[in-house]
Chains A and B, each alone.
Chain A
Amino acid sequence: MVPTMLELKNVNKYFGGLHAVSDVSFRVEQGTIKAVIGPNGAGKTTLFNLIAGNLVPSAGTIIFQGREIQGMKPHRIAALGMARTFQNIKLFHGMTALDSVMVGRHVRSRAGFLAGMFHLPWTWREEREIRDRAMELLELLDIAGFADVEATSLAFGQQRSVEMARALAMEPKLLLLDEPAAGLNIYETAEVARLITRIRDMGITVLLVEHDMSLVMDISDEIVVLSFGEKIAEDVPAAIQNHPEVIRIYLGEDEEAVV
């Protein structure tokens, strides 16, 4: 059996009276691409924030590489090997693309305050490694030419790439992608699809939230469908496409469809 990278068991999240995520359980197997889809307000981003530690579940268990992580701070979860991108890109204002990706090496390096202040010799090699690795990733994502440009001033697609490079710099075991194709045209979307499969082939498990059905159907190994915070289906793409409940929530009620 393929080992489990991430497992959610009966995860719930309430915001006051709103039941944003309700009893959601699923597994993400190592080395696969799993997608979470659902209409707006289905609780997809909330689910991501629960997994990454930005929100604490009201009930339920989240297990990452055999360890319970619910309630842990995001930076600790990140250090365990989980990276993420954000739906509305979050880059560091005032930092160049290269510096931003170098921050991604934070958990893979260790120079502290005093080592930094005294510029200790052993940190020189570490710095060089951080820089080289960051540069490689910028090249991989075709943005090496913008290494010294302030990341927030780049074009939208390039900002996405910087964010992706930053996440990959962490050498994660699991990568969470929150709508990686949002705002991209069909060519760029196809590019992202190729990139995600490439990331999977590098041995990184991918969990993505996406609106773009074509992207999800093409690259996912398995799909989870959420509606109003509940899991209504979980299957391979071909089966999801023909799932009556999924068709209903995506295309509307029968009567409406007739009208």
Chain B
Amino acid sequence: MKYTKPRAILCLAGLVIAVQVLTRVTGTQYYLTQLTMAAYYALVVIGLTVLMGYAGQISIGHAGFFAIGGYLSAALTTHNLVLFADRPLVLLLDRIGILVRGQDIYGEHLITVAPWAACLLALVAAATIAFLLGIPVLKLKGHYLAMATLGFGTIIYRIALATDYFGEADGISEVPGFTLLPGIGPVPPLVVNGDFGNRVQNYYIAWGVLIIGMVLLLNLIDSRIGRALRSIHGSEEAAEAVGVDTARCKLQVFVLSAVYAALAGVLLTHYNGGLGPSEASVMKSVRYVALVAVGGMANLWGALVMGVGLTFLSLRGVFGSFDDAVFGAILILVMLFAPDGILGLQFHTLAARLKRFGAGGSHDA
């Protein structure tokens, strides 16, 4: 059967349903938890794939954007504003209706920012930071861009680790659920949270978001802008010569991938009910890069399959305490033997590369 975009998406949706049914039949529904989390991580990976694989701009700082999304929505929806209730800013926020009142488990009054507003703020913040960072940083190329984004990731990590507002080393917990749609009549509400009874619903929410995210990116790479992005990767000078505003295109795709990462951060944080500074760590950024590479760089489907698959195994604890080491090793092996990704690998090319490597030859450019 010939590959077409709608057909592939339908197959994926069918597979998602089949997996859920299978876990139900076999009584292994506990897998759904990791599959849900893996879907959110894969959202970061596909966003990064468009930036790295198609536009050719590396970022070793995307855990930073994930953390900006996660931490902002966590902090805004958990910090109690009761003490500041009479401040003008809080009054203004209340007036425009983005605050919610409630009680904590001890019966204390709580005033917090509503999750939808926190989510919106987090996404706007991530986009703004990506924009401001991207203007100077995207002028750099190759190693220099890698180092600059690494620097950004490190800063976000240290901020998360050292700021009282973000819970320092403990991170933020007891993040409330995020009601996407209120219940109408017999239809139950759509809530992103980690409640045991909500597991199936959350599995479908996560995969729904991932599939929509995937469709939008698949459309993008087939469009005029997608061609422009690939042309930048191919030759920046020639892209400029045909009228592609390379600086603007790079900035836009950088912001887009940052928003994808931040959205994943927001939703996963509400699903897990909290997050810690390890989500912002440089190792996480390296892991995203490794997943893009093992998926085949300019290959959204490869990124999705590898992003979900390897993250799922990692979350199931298959790699034990060697977790980070496994992703490091993947990065080395992919670069040496399969620069086009595992899925794009054909047996005879692998054999040739292994032989050449054995003979002491080096990998061609």
Contacts and interface: CB of A to CB of B under 8 A. Distances in A.
A106 B219 contact: no
Secondary structure at the B interface, as helix, strand, loop or mixed, is helix
Interface stretch (B31-39, B197-205, B220-228, B323-331): B220-228
A53 B223 CA distance: 27
Interface stretch (B20-28, B176-184, B234-242): B234-242
Contacts of B223: 111, 115-117, 119, 123, 127
B242 A91 contact: no
A243 interface: no
A107 B242 contact: yes
Given A52-B241, A106-B242, A117-B217, A95 B224 contact: no
Nearest to B216: A117
A105 B234 CA distance: 17
A79 B240 CA distance: 10
A15 interface: no
B216 A95 contact: no
Interface stretch (B75-83, B120-128, B140-148, B243-251): B243-251
Contact of B230 (A92, A104, A117): A92
A94 B225 contact: no
B233 interface: yes
B252 interface: yes
B298 interface: yes
Contacts of B238: 86, 90-92, 166
B227 A94 contact: no
B224 A130 contact: yes
A54 interface: yes
Of the four ranges (under 10, 10 to 19, 20 to 34, 35 or more), the interface on chain A belongs to 35 or more
Interface residues of B, number: 29
Interface string A52-91: 1110000000000000000001110011000110100011
A104 B242 CA distance: 6
Contacts of A86: 237-238, 241
Interface string B250-294: 001000100000000000000000000000000000000000000
A4 interface: no
Contacts of B228: 103, 106
Contact of A113 (B220, B233, B234): B220
A214 B228 CA distance: 37
A103 B237 contact: no
B231 interface: yes
B243 A126 contact: no
A99 interface: yes
Contacts of A92: 230-231, 233-235, 238-239
B234 A93 contact: yes
Given A90-B237, A91-B234, A92-B235, A116 B219 contact: yes
Contacts of B230: 92, 94-95, 99
Contact of A78 (B225, B233, B241, B256): B241
A110 B238 CA distance: 19
A166 B234 CA distance: 14
A73 B241 CA distance: 9
B4 to A, nearest CB: 13
Nearest to B228: A106
Contacts of A111: 223-225
A206 interface: no
Contact of B235 (A93, A104, A113): A93
A90 B234 CA distance: 9
Contacts of A75: 239-241, 243-246
A52 B298 CA distance: 30
Contact of A166 (B242, B246, B298): B242
Given A91-B234, A93-B234, A116 B243 contact: no
A93 B233 contact: yes
A116 B224 contact: yes
Contacts of B252: 113
Nearest to A123: B223
A105 B231 CA distance: 12
B233 A116 contact: no
A145 interface: no
Contact of A84 (B224, B233, B241): B241
Contacts of A93: 233-235
Contacts of B233: 92-94
A252 B294 CA distance: 59
A33 to B, nearest CB: 20
Contacts of B225: 111-113, 116
Contacts of A94: 230, 233-234, 298
Interface in B110-134: none
Contacts of B220: 113, 116-117
Contacts of A216: none
Given A91-B235, A95-B231, A83 B224 contact: no
Contact of A99 (B227, B242, B243): B227
Given A106-B224, A116-B219, A116-B225, A73 B234 contact: no
Contact of B243 (A79, A112, A113): A79
Contacts of A110: 224
A72 B298 CA distance: 32
Given A54-B237, A106-B227, 17 more contacts: A90-B235, A90-B238, A90-B241, A91-B235, A92-B235, A93-B234, A95-B227, A100-B231, A102-B227, A105-B224, A106-B228, A106-B243, A106-B244, A112-B225, A113-B256, A119-B223, A170-B243
10 contacts: A86-B237, A90-B238, A92-B231, A92-B234, A93-B234, A95-B230, A95-B234, A106-B224, A112-B225, A116-B224
Interface of B: 216-217, 219-220, 222-228, 230-231, 233-235, 237-246, 252, 256, 298
